[in-house]
């Protein structure tokens, strides 16, 4: 009986100690700075370092951008103490990060100047360190743009942004695809050429390579168009 009470007291004491401990504003600031750095954004916020917040394990500390521009950041604890607050991260369109810090960002750029309409390959890209003043729509990973076409000419060494590229369609015009037609338990597949651009399940015209017939279907993936209705 006494042994059971002793164990119960130790557990209760441990829980109360954990619940009554705190996390400081300084600790939260360091976590937030790291999070912003991982997202390629400058840190320009103010959190009082001496303020104490209820205990929160790091995995349960959730940081989210609620402004879609990293100007308003919400910090929340989901366990064991639920709390949250919002801090303003002062990023302006003309905010010059390079003037306020010696830090540089790793950015993806072109090895050589490319003209409008050029299709980007992984071989065309290189990562360099560069000071930035614009962060919106910045390309963060090479695979985000490999295979895409430039909307305008871009010089080597310039940071790449998503608005530098033409819209990425699931199926692009003149692509070789497969048309699939299901009739009961029978599936018929034939080669065709896309006559339009199309997004997922967007309507598209295709030309049957064998018969030359033009039919309509729906883009299912980058290589397949499915027929949902009987073609005349």
Residue keyed to tokens 């119960």: 8
Residues 139/161, Cβ–Cβ less than 8 Å: yes
pLDDT mean values, one per 10 residues, the chain (232 residues): 40 41 88 90 88 84 81 84 83 47 75 92 91 78 85 91 85 92 90 91 92 92 79 44
Torsional sign, CA 151, 156, 158, 159: positive
CB neighbourhood size of 56 (10 A):
23
**Res 216: pLDDT:** 94
Residues 100/117, Cβ–Cβ less than 8 Å: no
What kind of fold does domain 97-164 have according to CATH? Type Iii Antifreeze Protein Isoform Hplc 12 (3.90.1210)
With 0-12 CB in 10 A as exposed, 13-18 as middle and 19+ as buried, what is 107? buried
Task: Tell me the Ramachandran region of residue 228: left when phi exceeds 0, alpha when psi lies from -120 to 50, beta otherwise.
Answer: alpha
**Res 206: pLDDT:** 95
CATH 2.30.42.10 for domain 176-227, yes or no, is no
Residue keyed to tokens 């810090």: 101
pTM check: above 0.85: no
């Amino acid at each position: 009986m006494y042994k059971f009470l002793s164990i119960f007291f130790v557990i209760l004491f441990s829980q109360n100690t954990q619940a009554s401990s705190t996390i400081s504003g300084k600790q939260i600031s360091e976590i937030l700075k790291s999070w912003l750095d991982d997202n390629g954004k400058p840190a320009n916020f103010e959190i009082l370092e001496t303020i104490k917040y209820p205990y929160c394990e790091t995995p349960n500390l959730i940081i989210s951008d609620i402004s879609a521009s990293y100007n308003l950041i919400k910090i929340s604890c989901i366990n064991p103490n639920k709390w949250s607050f919002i801090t303003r991260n002062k990023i302006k369109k003309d905010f010059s990060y390079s003037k306020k810090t010696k830090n540089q960002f790793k950015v993806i750029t072109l090895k050589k100047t490319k003209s409008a309409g050029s299709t980007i390959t992984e071989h065309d890209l290189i990562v360099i360190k560069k000071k930035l003043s614009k962060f919106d729509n910045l390309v963060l990973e090479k695979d985000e743009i490999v295979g895409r076409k430039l909307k305008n000419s871009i010089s080597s060494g310039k940071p790449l942004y998503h608005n530098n590229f033409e819209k990425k369609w699931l199926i692009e015009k003149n692509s070789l695809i497969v048309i699939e037609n299901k009739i009961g338990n029978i599936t018929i597949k034939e080669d065709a050429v896309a006559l339009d651009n199309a997004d997922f399940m967007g309507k598209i015209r295709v030309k049957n390579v064998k018969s030359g017939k033009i039919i309509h279907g729906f883009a299912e993936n980058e290589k397949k168009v499915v027929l949902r209705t009987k073609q005349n």
